Structure formats: C-alpha cells, structure tokens
Structure 1
Amino acid sequence: MKKSGLILFNTLGRKLETFKPIHKNEVRIYVCGPTVNDVPHLGHARQQIVFDVLRKYLKFIGYKVKFVSNITDIEDKIINKAKELNEDIKTLTARNLKTHLEDYKQIGVEKPDVQPKATEYIKELIDLVKKLEKKDYTYIIENDGVYFDISKFKNYGKLSGQNIKELKSSRIGIKEEKRNKEDFVLWKFSKKDEPSWESPFGSGRPGWHIECSAMSSNILGLPFDIHGGGQDLIFTHHEDEIAQSEAGYGKKFVNYWIHNGMVNVNKIKMSKSLGNFKTIRDLLKDYSGSVIRYFVISTHYRNPIDFSKQALDDAKNSYERLKNIISEIKNDKKINKDYLDKFKEAMNSDLNTSKALSVLWELIRDEKAIGKYETINKIDKVFGLDLLKKEKINIPNEIRELVNKRERARKNKDWKKADELRNEIAKRGWSVNDTPKGYILKRV
C-alpha cells in the first residue's frame, strides 16, 4: 500500500508536517508509558489507544514499526505510595503493572515490541549522566542530587515554546541552591529506606526525565522517528528529555513529537491527584473495551475529551447500532476502493479518526456500495473495534419475557397483540424481525 501522504502535527515547530521516516520502510516510535504507582484510569486508556491506532495505521500503509513504551517502576510517586500502604516497592509495582497490562489488553491495545523498565536500565542511565557531567552540563546540590543546568543548553524551550530568559528571570518557588528555576535532577542521592544504586556520583536513584532518554536512545538509536505522550508531558518532561539527550549524546533526539489531548471532567484534567478519575477496570464493568475505544477515537486525538456517563452511554449506543448494521452485511469478497481511499484521506490528515469513523458510517449506510464486508475488515485493522466479531448478546429478562409473550400471541394468531408487543420491545431499544427460521432479536 502507498505510504506517502501522512501528515502529522509536530509539536516541535507546532505545525502540520508531511511524515518522512528516517529509514524508508521502517518507523521507530517511543511512547512514554505508565508510572505504576496505581491502577490505570481513562486518561491512560486514551493515550494507549491513540498511539495503538497510530501504530496500526503505520502498519496498514505498509511500514514496519518498532514500537517501544516504557514502564516507570522507580519514581517519587511510587516511593510515596509504597510508604502510604506500608508495602514493598517491588510488590506494589508488580501488582499495578499486571493491572495495567490486563486492562490495556481489554481495550484492544497491542503490547509494545519492547517494554523496558527503568530499573533494568540503571547502567545506561548512569552512563548518560556521566556524559553530561563530562561536557559540563551538570552540577551537584549537596545532600540532594546531580542537576542539569538548562542555561548550558542553548535550545532549551524549543519544544514547548518557553523563553529561557523568562524562565531564568523567574525565581518564584525555586530551590535556593538551584542555578535556574527549571533545572532538573538527573540523579537523586539516596535517602534512608529508599531504593538506591551505586554510581560515580554517589549512591542514589535516577530522576524521572533521564529514564526515558536512556531507554529510548539505547533501544532505538538516535535520532528516531516519533516520540509520543500526553500534552501534559510537553513541559517539562519532554523538554527535559530533549535537553539531556541532545546535550549528552551530541545528536538530534527525535524528528516528530506527537501529543494527545487530555481527558477532562467538568473541563478539569482527569488525574489521580485531583481524585476525579475513573479507572479502566471500573469502566469495564459497564462498557466493553471496544466501546471505550469507540469513545476515544470519536474525538480527534489532539482535542480534549469531556468525560461523562452520558457521553459513554452515547458511544455504547452508537457502537451497538454500528455492529447491528454490520452484522447484516454479506461478504461479496470485494474491496470498495473509493471508501478505502476516503478512509485513508481522513487518517492521513493528522490521524483524523473522527472523520474516518464518519466514512465508515457512510459506507455501511450506502445501499449501492459493493465490497462493504472486506472494506470494513481493512478499516478495523486500524480501529481495532472487533466490528466483524460475532458476539453473544446479553438479553435482559424483561425483553425475553416480552418476546416470549409475542411468540405465544403469534402462535395463537393474535396479530394485534403481537404488533403491540413488537412496539413495546422497540420502545425498550430492541427490534424483533420474523424469518422462516424464527425471530431475530437485535439492539437498536
């Protein structure tokens, strides 16, 4: 399939750009994975789904994709959570990681090709800090850690558009020993009862930002094609990654920076710290993984999503209508090139999944269209919605009772009663159609 034509919004430069991979037929991607201090919520789900769709679409248009997403298994939040629960850190992170992986699988997210843990890359992390130290980008704050001096990196702020002079002039809330407000820790010196590793700078543990730089660079090489994450990571996490990586390795870090929008509740970002979050596991009690995916891809990835029960209920109803219509489609073994081209046009326009969904709806409603089944099959290789999968429908007891009453009325040739019951069934969101082999019951 033709690869050209994909346009993505590159946060580095803040504009739409035609995607051109470093290697002709291969794309290398790194996406910031979860910090496993707790279980995943809908905000995590959105990021996972967005980059899963990007990965699937790149494969769809013919690229070989190497997809890396890390696990942060040592960080302040993890240490604090373990203390709060009086639990061993390894036990805490293992349990939460298991939940993350299980929940991501439930929402149709493919496991990364490589999924490194920060604690597995301590040597590489230390090596990068040593490179930075040798090039005079670092300084030490006694009894604290090794810090990166942002004033030494001339392009600091290029990703987020921050002005380094303004950052230097603002000293509100700055730690007294820091040279600049936004200087960040590379290596934290060990404290009592906290995990630590030996290093040339002293016993300690890595800072959060250095973890992603060391893992992505060592696994993918520099530069690589795409770095992804949520918009909340642009400043400072991704800004700091660029600074320490390019300063330490002396090469460009990444060509394209892709960031997804936030999930909001009443226009406020969903987050653990605010307590306004919905876990994936809680949502899966009422909605299938496919419904959650449908909900996420119904909005362009860069726009915010406003979460509400009503919004998810609407997505559920829309998804079930879509599945019901598709279940009637016969496979004529053909492909509808016109609709497939429309789908690609939407996806090539900065992964416009909401527009691509509208193309899918247009296809299934087009009575004259050929090749529906196989075209849907191809589209769903990107969406991952299980659109052609036959599923057992859970029929509520009250609907079963109404259907049984209607069958008895039909058997007694009480057509008026049968029609009344059909209407009552329809009012409750179900349709019943009679065939020579019996009735067919569906959600509408």
Structure 2
Amino acid sequence: MPFTDKDTTVRIARARAARLTVPAARHAEFPSTVLRADPLALLARQDSGRVPELLPLRYTRLAASPLAYFRGAALPAAADLAATPRTGFAVQACGDAQLANFGLFAAQGRRLVFDFADFDETLRAPWEWDVKRLAASFEVTGREIGHPAAQRRRTVLAAVESYRLAMHDFARRTPLELFFAPPDPRTLRTVAAHRLGPAGRRAADPFRHTEIRDGAVKLAARAPWALAAGRIGGDSDPETLADRLCSVLRRYRRTLGPARRAMLDRYRLADAARTVPGPAGSGARCWVALLVRTDTGDPLLLQLKEARPSVLQECTGASTLDSPGRRVVTGQRLIQAAGDVFLGWARSPGFDGPARDFHVRRLRHDRSCGDIATMTPDVLRANARLCGWTVAKAHARTGDALAIAAYLGSGSGFAEAVREFSIACADQNERDHAALRRAIRLGRVAAAGS
C-alpha cells in the first residue's frame, strides 16, 4: 500500500523534530577520552573464542599502521559511535562501512558492480553510524597516503555530500526504481580504471587457484590466502577435517532454495584450506572449500567464515535472528546490490570445540580494492562519492529515505559536522594505534615476532 499525503507529512514532521533535538552541528561531537572505554580492553574481549594461534598475527596486523588499526578496530569504533547523538531513524547498517569494505565485482552479463564486500557486522542501527565510519575512513586513508589537509577535507565532504544528494534522489523513487538504480557511470569508470588492472582481471579466473596433484584437482599450494590443513591447532587430521567441513556444507545446503541446491548438488568437495581474514576478522575460523563439478571438474570456491555477534549488538540490542550466520546472510541480502547465488549459513555442533556458526558465500577473486598507496586525491575522492552513494542506496532500501533526506536538508551543515567528527576520530585512532604499539613493546600484548 503506497504512502498517503498524511503519511508523508508525518514522516517529514518526525525528521524536522529530530533536527530540533539533534541539530546537524552536534554530529561533530566525538566522545572525550575520559568517557571512552579502553580500546585495548575491547579488542582483548574479542579474543575469546578465536583461534589462539592466530591472535598474535591479529595484533601484528593491527599494529602495522594507523590505517590497519582503523580497519581492525570495529568494536572500539562502534563504542565511540554509540556515545554520539542519534537521530532516531534506523536502517540495515553495514556496521563497518569503510573504504576497505567495498569492492568491484563482475555481475551477470560481465557488468561491473561496486558494492559492499564485507557484512560481518551488519545489523539494524542508526543510519548516521555508517556515514561517520565511512567519512572517518577517508580521513584516515588520506593521512596514510600523505594527502594534504585541504584535499582530505574535500574527500570527506565528497563522501557525505554524495550520501545526502543520493538520499534526496532515492526519496523520490519507487521501491522498484530504487532497487535497480545505477551509480554515476563517470565516477564508476574513474574508480574502475584505478582498481582494475591486468592483475585484477586475471584474479577472476578460479582455475588460477587450483592445480593437479596426485591426479586430482586441489587448491594451489602457492595461493597466498591459503594455509594447509594441519598447520594450526584444532585442524586435527585431514580426514576428520574433511568430515567436519562436509557437515557444515550439508547444514548450509538446507538454507538454499531448491534451484540453488540443485546447482550445489552438481559439485563435490575436493579440497579445503584455512585462510586468515583481514585485521578485523583475524583469529576467526575461516576456510576455503574447493568444490569440483562431478562431470567436468570445473572448480567452485566457497568461503566458510565463522560468524560472530555484531560489534553493534551491545549498542543497539541483540539481533532477533537465531544465529550470527543467519544475521550476516539476511543483512547481506538486504543491502547488497548484486546477490550471491551461493549465499547461506550453517550452525555446526562441535566443529572446533563448541558449536560454531558460519556464513558461506562464493569466494570472489574478481573483487578489487586497488592499491590505496597510489590513489591520487581525485581517485580517492571518486571512491568517496561512490561509497557514499552505495551506503545511501542500502539505507534507502531498508529505512525511511524521505525522513533521512528531510533531516539532512539542502545545506552542507551535516557534511561539515561529520568532517569535524572524522578529524577527531582520526586523531584518536592515531593515539589508540600508538597505545597498541606501546603495549606490544612492553609485552602486555603478544604479537607475532614480538
């Protein structure tokens, strides 16, 4: 049933009331050091239940640079955002909307799609949290690359203004028009020209990551993301591992529709390897399963990644879904523009100790983030505009686009306030990163090679 004029009036009135309660300028606020939770204590709390052998690697990665720390410190970031003013309009949030969590993918018809690439923290939450996390990521990235302050300012404003303008556009569209809305082609071309090179195109071929060993198709031993079975405690012997992974895949199969189950049934498990996710996911159980077609031997790579509670849950209330894996999959389906036909979840009792939840998806080697170190201000700004548009589309599909657009208004007040927030956030991020390095140096935090 379409909204009536009365509905529209009520929604706009709510937005105006929110602007009186939380003026745009208040979004510049960042929690004071006195009120913030200890970020190292928050990170340590996340260690519970992770693979112990991988925890030193996690902290080594976090300590590599302020940008690496920012990417991995999703829980401290969520705690900071929870202490900021809220407008009262919820959406299906990415939960960790930062530059590194977006990628280019090949969709049907070889069409390029720019979209979210990570959904581990997705949950229903205030829309402004994603926007602030995104803006801060561009400030931190700009500092890492060495862009001057004036260029960083333009980049952060581009991200937030792109979000605002897109939300005004989406508020006027029907749900169907919104679903199929494409990004600006010129901006997409600029981003693709940097992110996609010959190496990126080659990575789209799954055969690149397989080889013939002992007369059978196996994962290539040289694959940079793969660790052979048995290298980490808890793997047990290969036969037991294969049985456990098959158990996960059987449970995962039940979450697929009939047509997708029929596709999956044409493949059998041929090999598996443990992988180590990025800084935020380091220590979580993550596997790549090589499946091959029973008749031709064509490969299919699936990622089985342990699903843990979202970092936003303590700030917003627990998810109403029955498992973290289902939460991730449901959130991904809600906000992702190009769906994954093999997306599903599973809960496996006693996989590696207690019951573990997993979300399963096709491993996409056509994703390309590009070399951040070589991004010029213009390229980084194009990424900012495209990310802002993508976040706005996800929020408009799962929230009240009209109310959010009415709250944002026609001026740049919100963007300027979020820019100030991003500067304060980046400053604090540098201090937190320094504190982590100091803790490693003093032996209070164990890191690989320390």
Greater Rg, structure 1 or structure 2? 1
The two structures have a TM-score, normalised by structure 2, of: 0.29
The two structures have a TM-score, normalised by structure 1, of: 0.29
Q: Name the structure where helix makes up a greater proportion of residues.
A: 2
